[in-house]
Amino acid sequence: MSAEAADPGAPLRRRSRPRIDLRRLGRVALRGPVSRDRLPDAISHVAEAHRAHHPDADLTILRRAYVLAESSHRGQMRKSGEPYITHPLAVTLILAELGAETTTLTASLLHDTVEDTEVTLDQVKEMFGDEVCYLVDGVTKLEKVDYGAAAEPETFRKMLVATGNDVRVMSIKLADRLHNMRTLGVMRPEKQARIAKVTRDVLIPLAERLGVQALKTELEDLVFAILHPEEYEKTRALIAAAKSPDDPLETIAEHVTHTLRDAGISAEVLIRPRHFVSVHRVRRKRGELRGTDFGRLLVLVGEDADCYAVLGELHTCFTPVISEFKDFIAAPKFNLYQSLHTAVVGPEGAVAEVLIRTHRMHKVAEAGVVALGNPYAQDPAAPPQPQPSDERSDPTRPGWLSRLLDWQESATDPDTFWTTLRDDLAQDREITVFRTDGGTLGLPAGASCVDAAYAQYGDGAHTAIGARVNGRLATLSTVLSDGDTVQLLLAQDTASGPSPDWLDHARTPAARIAITGWFSDHPDGAKPDPETVGATSPGARSEPSSEREAPGAAAPARSRSGPRPSGVVVDDPNAQVRLAGCCTPVPPDELTGFVVRGGAVTVHRRECPAVTAMQEIGRAPVGAHWAVAEGRESDAGCRVTLVAESFGRPRLLADLTEAIATADAAIVSATVEPPSEQRVRHTYTLRLPDAAGLPGLMRAMRDVAGVYDVSRAQHPAPTG
């Protein structure tokens, strides 16, 4: 496998191995099993690739797995017309080229047998053991769920849990998706697009998180070709036109080779072509492409120290581009990636990007967790290893995966889980901050002290009042940087709760879910009686509230059941009216209210969970309904304000507007805030013919590429 530019649909080429003809393999496979003393011809390519990484591997179990898979799938055909056995063979070959260990390859050969044949899990367990059985079962469970829009949240929840239990399940699933994407051309265009979108939104980010760059880059190119065919063809033409005998990268590579040889550094200098999506990104960033933009130099050495020696020579003998320097050896990425990145100016002013890494780093950079072999196996001869204090030191449960597994248990609502999953996977960089007790916290880039508090203390962070960052007092909204030392300050008052503003600063799902959960449990912002939980500390914050005051609600009504300026009528003649921020009621939602401290009435939608909670503690409901303002028809439809959170991209506004129009909604007003950290917030006040269309409208807006969340506004929007 490689991350080089590849034609989607065509198997990758390697210098030392001829192109694999899957149709020929299928014909060979139909001949049936062969004698026990040798492997079948159809799997010999897998054996060759496997032995290249694991010279001492016992291939007997692979032969038995192939014989069972071939006999079980015999007579089955793929939609492309190939014998079905070509699919598990191709998936297994992908993993073998990445360096997967024998157990993973065995499970890969069998990954469709339990789903598509009469083979049972008990038979797999009896023939191949518990470990192979578990991997086959994990992949089978993922295959059983349809990838339709309604099924996606549960599909990926199961995928997440399976990955958390054994990362090899996801390795097999990614290789399975890669081969299916290579052969997707036999399906209808609309199905190709649907599968490509799911691959783009979740599977490619998961491949990035697991560090399997070889799979990720080819999947990116295949998705690019399906979803953006015109841009793909432009990029293909640019790459084809750039091929020339006078490649400026070759000239620079020769100079680098001579420089390192003269310095006595043993190194291999290669030209690493960019894949299609990488070229497309560079073109969008720079406009006109330079001759050296179609690839990068890759320098491979033996030891970590040699990487820095190479860097020193390059920066001494060439003019470095300092802004391009990054050290991912001293500070590895969250997906195990290590490398030095730099750029140098070669002869005639050509600028070349250079990657410097050891051979071991290169293997991990390409194959990620697959290159770890069996990360769960323990060498009995090795001394016992202490538990790692850094969550990223454990390759079987990296920090990002631990956090996803933690919050997915709390996100019981499928829509919340799905939007939060896509949001979290979109974070392409992680930082490490240090605790004062010597431990570390792995957080997404842009995380604040609020995120650090919930990562360290869980629900105990509800009482946070501030922080010290690098020894200096800081607010909870302070954004943390990689390498910061943070000390969270908690109030002594256990009755304290979070502020609604914290949601504006929380980037991690765990923090957002915990804060939202607290307000669901405390709909009126009330705290337990101090006498039951201890006295309030002098430094505790004033109590927060999840409610918003309706415009004009400070003035009590003058007549019973009179309409408030908010458009809500309540049965208490003198009460102030507040619309609950937890459910943001809008016409024509059915309403109910509750008297809270100070005599105000908080109005909720009737289906709001807070209503049930209030009734369970004995609060008496107050009647409430919408008033009809003068000059407005009662059947004028439903007006609602929605906030769309998205990543910035071209045509985003046009696509969102089209989705709104398709859902039969009229735009009353729209506001687009200036981008912040490549994120854009759109606020729309919309009118729908019927409130029943609101869920469908929100789903349609979420399905727009780049949109990661759509929610009701927490504050009323202007009506103009």
CA dist 453 and 657 (Å) reads 38
The C-alpha atoms of residue 370 and residue 169 are separated, in whole angstroms, by 11
Closest CA to 568 of 672, 576, 403, 499: 576
What phi and psi, each to the nearest 5 degrees, are found at residue 378?
Answer: -115, 130
As a whole number of angstroms, the distance between CA 50 and CA 17 comes to 13
Q: Which among 43, 52, 118 has a CA at the least distance from the CA of 88?
A: 43
Nearest-angstrom CA–CA distance, 679 and 666: 25
**Residue 550 DSSP class:** P
DSSP 8-state secondary structure symbol assigned to residue 548: E
Contact 315, 341 (CB under 8 A): no
Distances (CA, A) of 267 to 315, 318, 332: 16, 17, 22
Half-sphere CA count of 138, side-chain side, radius 13 A:
27
Asked if 488 and 453 touch (Cβ cutoff 8 Å), the reply is yes
Residues 6+ apart with CB under 8 A from 624: 568, 569, 570, 571, 591, 592, 593, 601, 603
Pick from 83, 82, 133: nearest CA to 106 = 133
The helix or strand, by DSSP H or E, that contains position 200, with its residue range, turns out to be none
Active-site annotation, residues: 115-116
Strand order of the β-sheet with 591-595 is: 547-549, 577-580, 601-605, 591-595, 621-622
H helix intervals, 30-112: 44-53, 60-73, 86-98, 102-109
Integer Cα distance of 511 and 464 in angstroms: 12
Pick the closest to residue 668 from 685, 688, 691 (CA basis). 685
Helices (H) and strands (E) in the chain, counts: 27, 22
Q: Could you tell me whether strands 351-358 and 268-273 are parallel, antiparallel, or unpaired per DSSP bridges?
A: unpaired
Q: Is 618 left (phi over 0), alpha (psi -120 to 50) or beta?
A: left
Two tokens at 435? 């605790």
Select from 18, 24, 23, 21 the least CA-distant residue to 49. 18
Instruction: Identify any residues that bridge with 341 across adjacent strands, giving them in sequence order.
Output: 326, 355
The answer to whether 551 and 489 have CB atoms below 8 angstroms apart is: no
